[in-house]
Structure 1
Amino acid sequence: MKTELILLRHGETEWNAKGLLQGHQDSPLSPEGVRQADALAARLVTVSFSALYCSDLGRAVQTASRIAARTGHDVRPDARLRERGLGVLEGLTREEASRRHPEVFGAYATNAPDFVVPGGESTSQRLGHAVECLGEVGTRHAGERVVVVMHGGVLSSFFRHSLGIPPATPRAFSVLNACWNQFDYHQGAFRLVTWGDITHLQELSADDSSAR
């Protein structure tokens, strides 16, 4: 039996809005991010699912908690779903990172999967944790639908992994805040069903326009 995994990126954070690299450091959701999380919650109220998992970083927990407040599910945090640790680059804009740590940022920008940021980790290390966790969730909830709140970087890596795209390939797709992505898990493999769905956010914008 296949497991349907709905993988969500957390809502926009204050650091997202400022263009700061987050990694394992944290920032609360911005007012827009709260609205995005609530839009996800409103959509999920109409969907039957068995469990709600999330990264243990605050921005993912905050997003998941706003969903849980509407759907009644317990939030199940797991550190393996964290964003990639960016070590010395965390808290900096890309421009600041390239100026203060030019060699590190240059290597980071190449998407080399095994490059370990000083004080952080590599893309392949973080992806391995996420794949392990999602595989366990898929097996535990065989035949069910599960929601997981994650991060943009690890979602990007997981997308490439699932489609067999070389990890260093330049990204030609978006991973928007509060986007909705579906993968099916069956016999140890992940299959992409839906990527980058933001219809719930577009409906939110339409509602705002009609209220003005």
Structure 2
Amino acid sequence: MKQDTEGKRVRESAPSPNSQQVSKPNDAKEDLQWDMELVLVRHGTTLWNKERRYLGHADLGLLSGAEQELKTLQKKLQGHSFARIYCSDLMRCRQTLQIILPESALTSQCSLSAKPPIMEPRLRELHFGEWDGKTYDMLKDVALYRAWIDEPQQFTPPGGEPWIHFVNRLREFLDSLFAWRIALEVQPMKSNATPPSVLIVTHGGVIRQLACMLMPGHDFWSLNPKPGEAFRIQLRLIGPHNCIARLLSH
């Protein structure tokens, strides 16, 4: 068994919870022409993260000192232009966005988004229902919890969200993102052109699942996003629900 940053324990050999692959093998060449870049940011630390409690749809804010925790990422994003910005509508993500891209940066010419940030409920963490706020030690003797740990696709926390609903809403989000990119109807980019960049401020489980859906070979637990950490995924769209992807650290 292993334990991740939010208190969840899983078997080392657990199968990937991903139910659909939407990309081809990640064998893209370095000189491939990319259509879009996603910058995926996990929100900063909350009290429940620190106490290793499950945190799904409960709307906690960041701990005091979040500005210092996110300072490095804020500096990295200075001057970066985003074609679109998406943010989970939960407080911890909204506060993270306000810190890493304050309103003054969003309205300045040097760091301009084509549109105001979009608060996106589909980017919420998995809903843990009655297990929200609980720790592994509080739940370890519950039979349903232990079954859910081994097969989250087959079991659902009491009052929580079935895994297939979690996957489907993220698939719908990706579909809408791909549709937006196609609808831009821009001329083919030159080899040295910068692809549109999209900032997504969300949750650890969402980042893991998006990586699974975009990167064949990635298990749900292949990534362990730390609070305030960012990843970049470059995408080449090659058909409906189909892309080539490359994962980079930010």
Structure with the larger helix share: 1
Show CA shifts across 1:31-78 (max 9, x none).
Answer: 354323333222111322222111111111111122331531532111
* Structure having greater relative contact order (Cα 8 Å, sep ≥ 6): 2
**Contact 2:209–2:220 (CA<8 Å) still a contact in 1?**
no
Q: Which residue of 2 aligns with 1:182?
A: 232
CA distance in 2, matches of 1:27, 1:149: 15
Whether the 8 Å contact between 1:9 and 1:150 is mirrored in structure 2 is yes
1:1-212 aligned within 5 A: 2-69=35-102, 71-72=105-106, 73=113, 74-99=116-141, 102-141=142-181, 143-165=195-217, 171-185=221-235, 186=237, 187=239, 188-195=241-248, 197=250
Change (3 A) 1:190 1:178: farther
Note the residue ranges of structure 2 that are not aligned, 5 or more in a row. Answer: 1-33, 107-112, 183-194
- Counterpart residue type for residue 35 of structure 1: Q
Over 3 Å counting, the alpha-carbon distance change for 1:127 and 1:45 in structure 2 is: same
CA distance in 1, matches of 2:65, 2:205: 20
C-alpha separation in 2, matches of 1:6 and 1:170: 18
Judge conservation of contact 1:86–1:120 (CA < 8 Å) in 2. yes
Length-normalised TM-score, structure 1: 0.79
User: What's the offset of the Cα at 1:172?
Assistant: 4.4
| C-alpha distance in structure 1 between counterparts of 2:196 and 2:220, whole Å | 34
> Under a length normalisation based on structure 2, what TM-score does the superposition of the two structures give?
0.68
Q: Deviations over 1:56-107 (max 9, x none)?
A: 11111111122331531532111000000001110111111224xx122212
Does the Cα contact within 8 Å between 2:212 and 2:220 map onto a contact in 1?
A: no
Shift of 1:111: 4.2
Does the aligned pair in 2 maintain the 1:52–1:64 contact within 8 Å? Answer: no
* 8 A contact 1:114–1:124 mirrored in 2: no
Displacement of 1:128 in angstroms is 1.7
Classify the secondary structure of the residue corresponding to 2:50.
helix
SS in 1 for 2:101: helix
Rg: which structure is higher? 2
